[in-house]
Every structure is written in structure tokens, then in C-alpha cells.
Amino acid sequence: MRFPKSLFGCCAAVAIGSVLLLAQNAQPKKSLDVPYVPTTPEAVDAMLKLAEVKNTDVVYDLGCGDGRIVIAAAKTYGAHGVGIDIDPQRIAEANANAKRAGVEKIVRFEENDLFKADFKEATVVTLFLLSSVNQRLKPKLLAELKPGTRVVSNTFDMGSDWKPEKEFTVPNTDDDTFLSHHLYLWTVPGR
């Protein structure tokens, strides 16, 4: 018996819709350290350029939201990527977005607390958190990431004792807040 294409499409849409609905009702296991605000598309491009992402990179976005940074790294540069977010709704959106973008084989999304996650394999780490959260995360970044790993942060620096090696101001951003305008780059030093 042949399965009509329209019926198949309908079932797939219902399945994706149900997963997103279930995720909407699921709550994060602890309160968010940073609220969800997505990076603008212009800043996503600029962050990946600032980190000089290549197809040999493994890009981790800590607090990945809807997955846009790792999905763009995979789509534009062929990089592998992992997104970590504590909010199950964001993880469900990120998985659906990766499928839509056709990169689900080279990216994955993990529901986890970024302070507990294992991100040692990263060669590039992207952040859009807060200065206070970056500073709490800094000891883990410096202890666990391989020397040479590039770290890029949207808007927020790491405090005065880890100065960025490059900064970049995003031109023509359509975000009229102070967010997604200024980017920072660090490289993890040798131990």
C-alpha cells in the first residue's frame, strides 16, 4: 500500500509540533543564569569570522538558545558544532532548526547546565551571557579548554584580568539595544 505524500507531511508536522509543545511545557532544571535573547544574524556572521571558523573546527555555544550560532557555523563553514542550553524549549527549537537547515548530522544539542557540561573537545567557544557569568565561567574555560581554543563573546567581556586580544564592532546591526554590537576574542593560553 502506498502512503500518500500529503499524509506523510501532515504526520511529520504533527510530530514536530507535539515535540515543541511538550518542550514548551518542560521547565529548566534550575533557574536561568541569563535570559534568552538571540544574537542578531549580523553578529552571528561576525562572531564566526572573528573566530576564523573552518571546517576542521568544533564550535561549542554555551547557552545556545535556538542553535543559530552552531547551525550557521555548520552551514557556512562545514564546522561540527555542539550547543548547550539548560532550557528544554530552546533545545527542542535548536534540534528542529538544525533539521530545517540540513545540518543535523554535524551538530548536536545538549540540555545541560553550562557550568557542568564537558566542552573539552571545543576548538571554538561562543558566548552570549553576561560579564558576571563569563567571569564565573572563566576558571573552567582556562582549566578545561585546549591551549589555542578561540573564545568569542557577544557584548560581554571577561573582566580586567583576561584582556581580549581582538575586539570588533558589528556594522549595520538592526538591533537597537546595546546588545550584539560589540564582540570580543580571546585565545586560551598554554598551561
Ligand X SMILES: C[S@@+](CC[C@H](N)C(=O)[O-])C[C@H]1O[C@@H](n2cnc3c(N)ncnc32)[C@H](O)[C@@H]1O
Distance CA 145, CA 187 (A): 10
Complex with ligand X: residue 46 or 86, whichever CB lies closer: 86
Do residues 98 and 72 make contact, with C-beta atoms less than 8 angstroms apart?
Answer: no
Q: How far is the CB of 191 from ligand X (least distance, A)?
A: 25
Burial-class residue 130 by CB neighbours within 10 Å (0-12, 13-18, 19+). Answer: middle
Complex with ligand X: residue 4 or 35, whichever CB lies closer: 35
Closest CA to 123 of 40, 183, 39, 48: 48
Q: How far is the CB of 6 from ligand X (least distance, A)?
A: 35
Q: Which residue's beta carbon is nearest to the bound ligand X? A: 63
Cell of 140: 573552567
Q: How far is the CB of 36 from ligand X (least distance, A)?
A: 4
Complex with ligand X: residue 10 or 39, whichever CB lies closer: 39
Where do contacts with ligand X occur on this chain (CB under 6 A)? Answer: 32-34, 36-39, 61, 63-65, 68-69, 84-87, 90, 113-115, 128, 154
Complex with ligand X: residue 8 or 115, whichever CB lies closer: 115
What does DSSP say about strands 182-187 and 166-169: parallel, antiparallel, or unpaired?
Answer: antiparallel
Residue 107: alpha-carbon gap to chain centroid: 11
Q: How far is the CB of 166 from ligand X (least distance, A)?
A: 19
